[in-house]
Structure 1
Amino acid sequence: MMNLKDLRVLRGSINEDRHSMYKLAEKRGISDSQVIKVSQKLDRKIILLQKVIYDNQFL
């Protein structure tokens, strides 16, 4: 189970990855392999955050 500090770190990491993905996409285009890798990494983090939120809504 994640504590509050871990959740804050995860949210911060999501925001950082989102920002870097936007900047990278502006330079290289949305179908660039690096942009896709960052997007997939971001997806995994968002899914993890959603699972934590879902699991804790019933506590």
Structure 2
Amino acid sequence: MLGVVSADGTTANGSSLIDETVREGARRVPDPAPEAEVNTCMAELDDECDEKDHRLVVRNG
């Protein structure tokens, strides 16, 4: 991320460069909590099958 920084350390929109850098980094870090929650749910429902032995709950995407 390149940007123009004034002498007082602020960028064109008025925030500090460090604030913008931290915000950009936070946007790029994926949150592992939703993935873990899905995996837990899928593990709990793993043995739920219909009369043809097809799983009732599958992960799509």
Q: Which has the higher contact order (CA 8 A, sep 6+)?
A: 1
* TM-score bin (small chain): 0.3 to 0.5
Q: Normalised by the size of structure 2, how large is the TM-score?
A: 0.39
Give the structure with higher Rg (CA). Answer: 2
Between Structure 1 and Structure 2, the one with more helix by share is 1
